[in-house]
Amino acid sequence: MRIKAIRSYRQNLALTKPYTIAYQTISSVENVILEIELDNGMVGLGAANPDPDVVGESPEQTLQNLQSEWVNSLTNSDIRAFYGLLNGVNQQFSAAPGTLAAVDIALHDAFCQYLGIPVLAFYGQKIQSLPTSVTIGIMNVDDTLSEAEGYFRQGFRVLKVKTGLNVAEDIERTLKLRERYGNMVTIRVDANQGYTLTDLTQFVNATQCANVELIEQPLPVGLEQDLLCLPTEIRQRLAADESLKGPAAAITLAHRPHPFGIYNIKLMKCGGIRAALDIATIARSAGISLFWGCNDESRISITAALHAAFSCANTRYIDLDGSFDLAEDIVSGGFTLKDGHLLPSGGSGLGLSNYR
């Protein structure tokens, strides 16, 4: 079965509400969409929303790469040469994870549609269901509690609070959430590189009673070794995010003693499903847990991340809420959301539907 056509374009997707993290406020997101059409009419879909501040690639660059002569040369390739195609893409775009992710996801979707099985079945399902966290941006205490209440009413029981601008306010917001909800919710924190080691220590000490499950990327990239002065119990709850861009970084961070006890894998950082699974294998050997995250993304790439996450036995946490706040998307399906839990739809490939 050969690839008949390859198409790509940019799609700006508005958010239903802007939010603030440690270094910017976001009101809309630009995704780059890739279509790989087979001779039988099946269309594999890929999507990318790389963060240039993290990976050095913009959506504009992604689109240029996807419309390059090299990508178009995949036309007439046999989709059954799936691994060979992935090898070629990885070699060509090793420094462009957004581009790599879009092609990797589209190839997985097309190939598994051709096989008539979900991507998750191709790799073997290890996890049946997990609750996803939902993200509360940086805001004052009253707004934090108001947003949390809205999510609680929708059935979400895992809240991820963005922090990193003012540690005193971060502590207050975290403690107020625990006071309001007791043991009814799980609280995670994402500092987005916004803390110093002193800030982190202050936050950890002041929120001991709040039972924060994990803290993402507290220090800026490059300061990972500074974390080694912290007790093992604290480092076990720290998740590498911006420090973990791909398998090479995963190997470095797996050296003992571990600065992070958790790897946050994002397809947009590492370059798609196959690179993500490489990171997962490294983490498993090192005894490191997996936490699957995302940017603001279409259901296409969120579903791809969900399939990858549930195929790994060391997956412990998911934060795949990136499509929830989109005012529109170009697909439906892929997964269902029930009481805060994400469940793959079970359709072939990524199980997406209503593509427009």
The pLDDT value recorded for residue 13 is 84
The pLDDT value recorded for residue 14 is 80
Give the mean model confidence (pLDDT) for residues 307-319: 98
Cα-based torsion angle of the residue sequence 53, 58, 62, 65 in order, rounded to the nearest 10 degrees:
-100
Following DSSP, what letter does each residue of 105-137 receive, concatenated?
A: HHHHHHHHHHHTSBHHHHH------EEBPEEE-
Residue whose token pair is 């090898």:
87
3-state secondary structure of 209: helix
Domain ranges of the chain: 3-116, 121-353
Pair 98, 50: CB distance under 8 Å:
yes
Structure confidence by residue, pLDDT tens digits, 7-56:
999 998 888 876 666 556 666 688 999 999 999 999 999 999 998 989 99
| Length in residues, the chain | 356
Terminal alpha carbon distance of the chain: 24
Pair 270, 295: CB distance under 8 Å:
no
**Distance separating alpha carbons of residues 104 and 85, to the nearest angstrom:** 9
Following DSSP, what letter does each residue of 305-346 receive, concatenated?
A: HHHHHHT-TTEEEE---TTTTBS--S-EESEEEETTEEEE--
CA-based radius of gyration for the chain:
20
Buried b (16+ CB within 10 A) or exposed e, 298-307: bbbbbbbbbb
Find, among 10, 3, 2, the residue nearest to 66 by Cα.
Answer: 10
Across the chain, mean pLDDT equals: 95
Q: What percent of the chain has pLDDT over 90?
A: 91
Q: What is the pTM of this model?
A: 0.95
DSSP run (H or E) holding 36 = strand 25-38
Pair 194, 164: CB distance under 8 Å:
yes
Backbone angles phi, psi at 188, to 5 degrees: -120, 160
Contacts of 256 (CB under 8 A, 6+ apart): 286
Structure confidence by residue, pLDDT tens digits, 206-228:
999 999 999 999 999 999 999 99
Cα-based torsion angle of the residue sequence 33, 38, 44, 45 in order, rounded to the nearest 10 degrees:
10
The pLDDT value recorded for residue 68 is 98
Give the mean model confidence (pLDDT) for residues 140-160: 97
Find, among 266, 203, 210, 251, the residue nearest to 230 by Cα.
Answer: 203
Following DSSP, what letter does each residue of 229-298 receive, concatenated?
A: GS-HHHHTTEEESTT--SHHHHHHHTSSSPS-SEEEE-HHHHTSHHHHHHHHHHHHHHT-EEEE---S--
The conformation of residue 207, written as its DSSP 8-state character, comes to T
Rounded alpha-carbon distances, angstroms, from residue 147 to 102, 120, 160, 176:
32, 33, 11, 13
Evaluate if residue 171 carries a pLDDT over 80.
yes
Give the mean model confidence (pLDDT) for residues 100-115: 98
If phi over 0 gives left and psi between -120 and 50 gives alpha, with beta otherwise, what is residue 205? alpha
Buried b (16+ CB within 10 A) or exposed e, 183-217: eebbbbbbbbbbbeeebbbbbbebbeebebbbbbb
The pLDDT value recorded for residue 23 is 56
Token pair in block for residue 127: 């996890």
Structure confidence by residue, pLDDT tens digits, 189-211:
999 999 999 999 999 999 999 99
Q: Structurally, what CATH architecture does the domain formed by 121-353 represent?
A: Alpha-Beta Barrel (3.20)
CATH of 3-116, one of 3.40.50.1820, 1.10.240.10, 3.30.70.420, 3.30.390.10: 3.30.390.10
Give the mean model confidence (pLDDT) for residues 108-125: 98
Pair 180, 150: CB distance under 8 Å:
no
Structure confidence by residue, pLDDT tens digits, 232-288:
999 999 999 999 999 999 999 999 999 999 999 999 999 999 999 999 999 999 999
